[in-house]
Amino acid sequence: MCRSSAEGGRRCSGRSCGAADARARQARSRARRGLDAAWAAGDPDQVAAAEAKYTAVTGTPPPAPNVVGTFAGQLPATPEPTAPEKPMPKPEPQPSKPEPADAPSGSTEDRVRDAVAKLAAQGEWVGIIDVRKALGDVDHDEVSRALKELARTNPNVHLVPEDNRKALTSEDHAAAVDYSGESQHLIAIEQPRDTSAKDRVQTAGVGNATDDDLAQVLRDPLTPSRTYDEIRAEQKRREQQVVTSPTPSDATPVAETARAESRPPATAEQRVRDVYRELASRPQGWVRLSDVRERLGATLPREEVDKALQAMTRTGRVHLSPDSDRRGLTQVDHDSAVRIGREDNHLLAIEPEDDE
Q: How many CA atoms lie within 13 A of 236 on its CB side?
A: 12
Q: How confident is the model at residue 68 (pLDDT cuts 50, 70, 90)?
A: very low
In whole angstroms, what is the distance from residue 164 CA to residue 174 CA?
A: 16
Largest CA distance in the chain: 161
End-to-end CA distance of the chain: 125
Predicted pLDDT at 316: 81
Predicted pLDDT at 93: 64
Amino acid at 114: D
Closest listed residue to residue 310, CA positions, set 301, 319, 297: 319
Q: Are 273 and 284 in contact (CB under 8 A)?
A: no
Predicted pLDDT at 75: 41
Across 106-132, average pLDDT = 84
Q: Are 302 and 241 in contact (CB under 8 A)?
A: no
Predicted pLDDT at 260: 46
Q: How confident is the model at residue 81 (pLDDT cuts 50, 70, 90)?
A: low
> pLDDT by residue (tens digit) across 256-308?
555 444 445 568 888 898 888 888 877 788 899 999 988 887 778 888 888 88
In whole angstroms, what is the distance from residue 127 CA to residue 119 CA?
A: 9
Predicted pLDDT at 139: 94
Of 53-67, 154-168, 254-268, 272-286, the poorest mean pLDDT is in 254-268
Across 147-161, average pLDDT = 87
Q: Are 223 and 217 in contact (CB under 8 A)?
A: yes
Of 13-17, 52-56, 209-213, the poorest mean pLDDT is in 13-17
Across 216-236, average pLDDT = 78
SS3 280: coil
pLDDT of 128 higher than 90: yes
Predicted pLDDT at 231: 85
In whole angstroms, what is the distance from residue 91 CA to residue 251 CA?
A: 79
Percent of the chain with pLDDT over 70: 72
Residue 119: alpha-carbon gap to chain centroid:
16
Burial, 102: exposed, middle or buried (Cβ in 10 Å; 0-12, 13-18, 19+)?
A: exposed
Taking each helix axis from N to C end, the angle separating 211-219 and 225-242, rounded to the nearest 10 degrees, works out to 140
pLDDT of 104 higher than 80: no
In whole angstroms, what is the distance from residue 99 CA to residue 236 CA?
A: 57
pLDDT of 121 higher than 60: no
Rounded to 5 degrees, what angle do the CA atoms 245, 247, 253 make?
Answer: 125
Distances (CA, A) of 170 to 165, 167, 237, 259: 11, 10, 48, 48
More confident residue, 105 or 183: 183
DSSP states along 176-229: -EEETTEEE-EEEEPPPP-TTHHHHHHHH-TTTS-HHHHHHHHH-TTS-HHHHH
Across 73-91, average pLDDT = 55
SS3 243: coil
Closest listed residue to residue 293, CA positions, set 330, 336, 323: 336
In whole angstroms, what is the distance from residue 142 CA to residue 304 CA?
A: 46
In whole angstroms, what is the distance from residue 234 CA to residue 333 CA?
A: 18
Rounded to 5 degrees, what angle do the CA atoms 133, 134, 137 make?
Answer: 80
Predicted pLDDT at 37: 84
Predicted pLDDT at 236: 80
Percent of the chain with pLDDT over 90: 12
Amino acid at 301: P
In whole angstroms, what is the distance from residue 271 CA to residue 286 CA?
A: 17
In whole angstroms, what is the distance from residue 216 CA to residue 227 CA?
A: 13
> pLDDT by residue (tens digit) across 172-220?
999 999 988 889 998 988 766 677 888 898 898 988 988 888 877 876 7
Q: How confident is the model at residue 149 (pLDDT cuts 50, 70, 90)?
A: very high
Predicted pLDDT at 145: 95
Q: How confident is the model at residue 84 (pLDDT cuts 50, 70, 90)?
A: low
Predicted pLDDT at 211: 84
SS3 134: helix
Across 129-155, average pLDDT = 92
In whole angstroms, what is the distance from residue 221 CA to residue 198 CA?
A: 12
Q: Are 127 and 169 in contact (CB under 8 A)?
A: no
Sheet holding 287-288, edge to edge: 287-288, 347-350, 318-321
> pLDDT by residue (tens digit) across 313-338?
888 888 888 888 888 888 888 888 98
Predicted pLDDT at 71: 41
Q: How confident is the model at residue 129 (pLDDT cuts 50, 70, 90)?
A: very high
Q: Please name the residues in contact with 340: beta carbons below 8 A apart, sequence gap of 6 or more.
A: 310, 313, 320
Predicted pLDDT at 72: 40
Note the pTM of the prediction, 2 decimals: 0.37
